[in-house]
Amino acid sequence: MASDLELSAMRHAITLSALGLGTTSPNPPVGCVILDQHGTVVGAGFHRRKGEPHAEAHALNAAGGAARGGTAIVTLEPCNHVGVTPACRQELINAGVSRVVIAVMDPTSRGEGGASMLAAAGVEVETDVLRDEALTVLEPWLTATVRRRPYLTWAFAADGGHQSAAEERLLLDLRANADLVIAGKTLDEGIPGGHASAHFALPGDADIDVGLWQWPSAAYEAGVRSLLVVGHEHGAALRPHLHAVDELVVSVPRTDPSQALDVVQSDLIPIGFRLVEVAAHADSLTSRMRRLSV
């Protein structure tokens, strides 16, 4: 059983992992915290982009010799292969950690998997620690990786007179979480220049609506793992295919109480989606929904 110190460290690692959203793809956003033998945090890190050190490497470098005999807390199973960077499971073994606590197992692990190799080397391994909390960051990457198509979020304002300012706010609030953003007829990185150019490319000449169900697979191969579409105008292309939308973010205006029931209509949350967040702003309400199958 993970200790209270380890649970606290895992939540720290999950928070760190979110710093990689919008830049790590095609790699996952991962966070890592190192505890010494006394349970004190001696190192922490997150993965920023493909080709750069992984979260474990950053955390171990910060910890130095204090990692020996300590515990590594990591949001995703340490990788088991040598690619652009060394295998994280070997770096943990070389550092002499005695225990590794993992939130989510990696479906892309090669061979026996990093956890198995760590255990074979005599390292104590515990898995599925705060898994659901770690998925708040990792789920889009995991879903895209299993499906081999980018995780799709559609954000729009439900009220015609409210759309321009509200959708501009949605774009500003959400784009940093996505690899690729479609707003109107413009296609761009969520964080312009945020990805490693050697491992990520924007799809060329994509017809945003007509070709919406043809080019995402090619975008996946180019490194895209999350796609944000902003705008009510894309409804004609998306509403007939809501089964392929992973998240909906809908903004409705806050009005005089006598008109509120007309604004928040019964079909706001479509069948097949679950409500995961409602945020109240000075002039609007934003509902975030996720597909039940995700």
Look at residues 217, 204, 277, 262 and name the one whose alpha carbon lies nearest to residue 244: 217
Catalytic residue among 6, 52, 56, 168: 56
Helical H segments across the chain, by residue range? 4-17, 55-63, 88-95, 114-120, 131-147, 163-174, 216-221, 235-238, 260-263
Pairing of strands 226-230, 151-157: parallel
Query: Of 202, 203, 200, nearest to 214 (Cα)?
Result: 203
The pair of three-digit structure tokens given for residue 7, joined into one six-digit string = 């649970």
> What is the C-alpha R_g of the chain?
21
Q: In what order do the strands lie in the sheet with 124-126?
A: 41-46, 31-35, 71-76, 99-104, 124-126
Is residue 124 part of the annotated active site? The answer reads no
Residue found under tokens 């299993």: 146
Give dist(CA 265, CA 259) in Å, integer: 11
Q: Annotated catalytic sites, by residue?
A: 56
